[in-house]
Amino acid sequence: MISFVLKRIVVSVVLLWAVATFTFLLLQLMPGDPAAIILGGQGTPAQLAHVRTELGLNRPLFVQYGSWLGRVVHGDLGHSVISGQSVISILNQRAPVTVSLAVAGVLVSLVIGVVLGVLAAVRGGWVDRTVRLVTAAGVALPNFWLGALLVVIFSVWLRLLPAVGYASFVSAPLSWVRDMVLPVAAIAAASVAGIARQTRVSMLAALQSEYVQTLRGVGLPMRSIIYKHALRNASIPIVTIVGLLFVGLLGGAVLVEQVFALPGLGQETVQAIANHDIPVLQGLVIYTTLIVLVVNLMIDLAYAWLNPKVRYS
Amino acid sequence: MTVPVAPVITQGPKLERHRPMLRRLRRPAALLSLCWLGLLLVASVAPSLLTSQNPNGQNLSDSLQNPTGQHLLGTDKLGHDLLSQLIYGTRSVILATLVAGFVALAIGVPLGLIAGYVRGHTEAVISRFADGLMSLPTIIILLAVAGILGNNLTLVMAFLGVILSAGFIRLVRTSTHAIRAELFVDSARVQGVSTTRIVSRHILPNIISPVIVQLTFGLGIGILAVAGLSFLGLGPPPPATTWGSMVFAATQNLSVAPWQLVPSGVAIALTVLAFNFLGDAVTDRLPVPRRRALAHGQKGAIQSEEQPRPDHGATRETEIEVGEVDAADPAESPGLLEVRGLTVTFVTRTGESLLVVDNVSFRIAPGEAVALVGESGCGKTVTSRAILGMLPSGGEISRGQIVFDGRDVTSLSEPQWAKVRGSQIAYVAQEPLVALDPCFSVGKLLVEALRRHRNLSRTEARREATGLLGRVGIQQPESVFNRFAHQLSGGMAQRVAIALALTGSPRLLIADEPTSALDVTVQAELLDLLRSLQEETGMAVLLISHDFGVVADFCTSAVVMYAGQVVEEAPAVELFRAPAHPYTNLLLSATPHGACRDRELPAIEGVAPPPGQWPVGCHFAPRCPRAETACSSGPVPLTTPAEARRSRCLFSLTELEGRR
């Protein structure tokens, strides 16, 4: 168990290093003079020189890489070339919106997806067909479009929920919930579908397994066999896909923030792209990768805890 | 770009079923998908064929219209015709998506092949690479690439292709593994066929179809990604419009003109659906007969209460025999279990009903050990599952009765069965290691079962469980109590399974080949255990086996099944001394440690015919050394060649005489 966790941590660190290096190289691959692009082609020589220093472009590649990586390791992701604010503080300020959106998405998808998947597997027949149809649609609808559709239905027509706005979860949890219903619904459609599909398949496999025959032979009621034993076994493969879904939800959050005008990482990204704010873009990649890796690590732990074969080895 | 279509994790890689791909594409969903994609292709290549409108033709007086005769899908704020915008926007979407798909293929397939074929260190490195790609924040990376390298959709989608290649690497690697393990690849290697040739001739053809499926899902993700990027303004530069930018334009006028959302959103969703449906069609997810029986065991039972039993054409034979069975033992006292004319049919994929167990009758007296013998596929397991009320889905008792302790249990509902099982009839499966729930410790399983049958507190149940483990011969019950299935040896797991079966103090234990998955020495120990438990508890045992050695050790009488029918029934001693049926005789000779060591035949030639292919006459006739024309002319009835014996052979008497 401990070696399993250590191995995962090492892999995560290596991956983070690879992604950081990738963002560094991305800057080198930038066509033309980055400083000129950042300044929109109108900088004075002094401004250009300043940006070059900020990006470290005037030093040999190796030296640049070394000092850049050194700063990254210490949590220094540079400064925005537009506002001069440190990238890490910008991201720290923006991340809660996006991350809370994605985490809420995970929880909602787990609950609804597992219920749908179990129903489909256990009931079969028309329930199964309906669930499969709904999940097929859930995967196919673009989340930003679904978000807009929900705004039309629930904000414009029914006037039930706000179309835009954001309240912090910490200071105003109720408003947060109200503001997040639609965005979460928009991004979770696809992951609900993903979880439901996985749950259905895993439950079917579990219900066909030999141990279920044994438990039936022992005389346990179907209730216990389905909801205690089969579901417990099915939860292992379900947990393994949550990591993938989290990545998707994070991406979904970035897009859906545009629809709902949420001040999260997505908006920051779009602004940074428009402004050619390269340090912010580089920082974003490293920062979100770190978030994803931490979440994946937690999922690995959950997996190990759920699976006795890993837990007791 | 939304959630990547998560790979649904199933049991191991699926090998290609050989079914022509073209035929699978004839399903309606697949056909419609192909039509839609064909339309998109035309729109990409020659958009002017599909619309005469100019996508950039502004007409401010036509601003934000709903569909009209002139503008079939309405107009946007500047009066652009939405249909023509959709059509002219197709090319960039499709091209960008294909770029991602192509890059993913070009990277994923070779790396997957190398990983799966070379294995070892290389495989580990490649797999890590794939795992890493899968756990990246895809959309953020794509946005950063777009932001830093400039607004170049092709380049960004190529990066998406790199990330998507992870799925191909995984898929191709596992498929290659599976195929590499096949015999024909081994023999090709032994014959010195070069690696390239093995890969191109044997492996590639077999992975094409799963790769196509993966590609369709990848393309679906690609469509969503292109739409997402152009929604954020990272698509082709204006004035070109594309589906994503149309959605963005629509979001600017949501409250005034919600219709604006529809055309572009529907186009994106339909295209993703089309790719996914195509993938589904290629995977050949035909309506597989679903194992619903588990939750719906009751369903079949309810049906038979209403008696709409399908007539499967089991004929006069049945009727004659039911009479005969009844007449054969009129005076005997009622047994603990009486199986009377049990007939089980299965509904196949194609909807036909297939006779699997044909008119099987036997009885078990209290405390008796009876063997159900025969080669695999003869209906022994199905018979035993029917007695437990646990027929797999599609299976149904279409005729006959199961009477347990004087009570007709044939048509109990699932909850009623759950009360019978465990406390009256219990079950021990063949493969002990997969027969125990891997997620629960031995102790938890035992405690749950004990508390189901008896009103015990947790502590009492715990004590009881440890005692039970001791009774089934486990040396350190306390330590085994906390172990999980994967920490047990086969023999120990089977002891635990027996302990589980004993939790409800059943009066009949059905043991389906309880020892055949175990080592020979462990086999003997377990049989000893079963025998002593039987003596101790007085329970009856139905032992299913293909091994006469086991039967001789343990059972007082034996029922021999062949191709769904009982072919012989006799007290065990009699059966070994003088089998009345040629099949029994051959089985006995084929048992190395059986009663007849002097015979030479190691096995019976040929195989038992599967259900649906049974001959009209004697089922065994095609393999029988003494078959005559009469054997094949019509059904052979069970006869009573001697007292307490039954045999389904025209020559039972002569067979018996010859051996006495």
As for the ipTM of the complex, it is 0.89
Contact B9 A255 (CB under 8 A): no
Lowest pLDDT segment from A25-29, A219-223, B126-130, B282-286: B282-286
Contact B144 A26 (CB under 8 A): yes
A233-280: per-residue pLDDT in tens? 999 989 988 888 898 899 888 899 988 888 899 889 989 988 888 889
Restricting to B residues 397-416, those with a Cβ less than 8 Å away from any Cβ of A are: 414-415
Provide the pLDDT for residue B561. Answer: 92
Contact A292 B418 (CB under 8 A): no
Residue in chain A lying closest to B228 (CA): A255
Three-state SS at B452: helix
Provide the pLDDT for residue B12. Answer: 43
pTM (two decimals): 0.82
The answer to whether residue B135 neighbours chain A at the CB level (below 8 Å) is yes
Instruction: Give the number of other CB atoms < 10 A from CB of residue B88.
Output: 23
Retrieve residue B571's tokens. Answer: 């007290």
Q: Residue range A172-190: average pLDDT?
A: 85
Provide the pLDDT for residue B219. Answer: 92
Q: Is A161 a residue whose pLDDT tops 80?
A: no
Restricting to B residues 186-215, those with a Cβ less than 8 Å away from any Cβ of A are: none
b/e per residue A233-244 (b: at least 16 CB within 10 A): bbbbbbbbbbbb
A60-115: per-residue pLDDT in tens? 788 888 888 888 888 888 888 788 889 999 999 999 889 989 999 999 999 999 99
Provide the pLDDT for residue B287. Answer: 40
What is the share, in percent, of chain A residues with pLDDT greater than 90?
33
CATH class of A94-312: mainly alpha
Contact yes or no for B112/B171 (Cβ under 8 A): yes
Cα-to-chain-centroid distance, residue B402: 28
Average pLDDT, chain A: 87
Residue in chain B lying closest to A266 (CA): B140
Provide the pLDDT for residue B319. Answer: 35
Retrieve residue B378's tokens. Answer: 């003869």
Provide the pLDDT for residue B332. Answer: 56
A196-211: per-residue pLDDT in tens? 999 999 999 898 888 9
Tell me the C-alpha distance between B241 and B231, whole Å: 10
Residues of chain B with pLDDT under 50: 1-7, 11-18, 285-331, 594-601
The answer to whether residue B261 neighbours chain A at the CB level (below 8 Å) is yes
Contact A140 B272 (CB under 8 A): yes
Tell me the C-alpha distance between B97 and B308, whole Å: 54
Provide the pLDDT for residue B506. Answer: 92
Provide the pLDDT for residue B316. Answer: 32
Comparing CA positions, the residue from A202, A201, A182, A179 lying closest to residue A108 is A182
Q: How many A-B residue pairs are in contact by the CB < 8 A criterion?
A: 316
The answer to whether residue B268 neighbours chain A at the CB level (below 8 Å) is yes
Tell me how far CA of residue A263 lies from CA of A78, A91, A266, B230, in angstroms: 21, 11, 8, 20
Tell me the C-alpha distance between B400 and B340, whole Å: 5
B547-591: per-residue pLDDT in tens? 787 788 788 999 999 998 999 999 988 888 888 888 888 888 876
Contact A285 B140 (CB under 8 A): yes
Domain borders along chain A are: 2-73, 94-312
Residue in chain A lying closest to B271 (CA): A140
B120 against A189, higher pLDDT = A189
Contact B255 A156 (CB under 8 A): yes
Tell me the C-alpha distance between B60 and B398, whole Å: 73
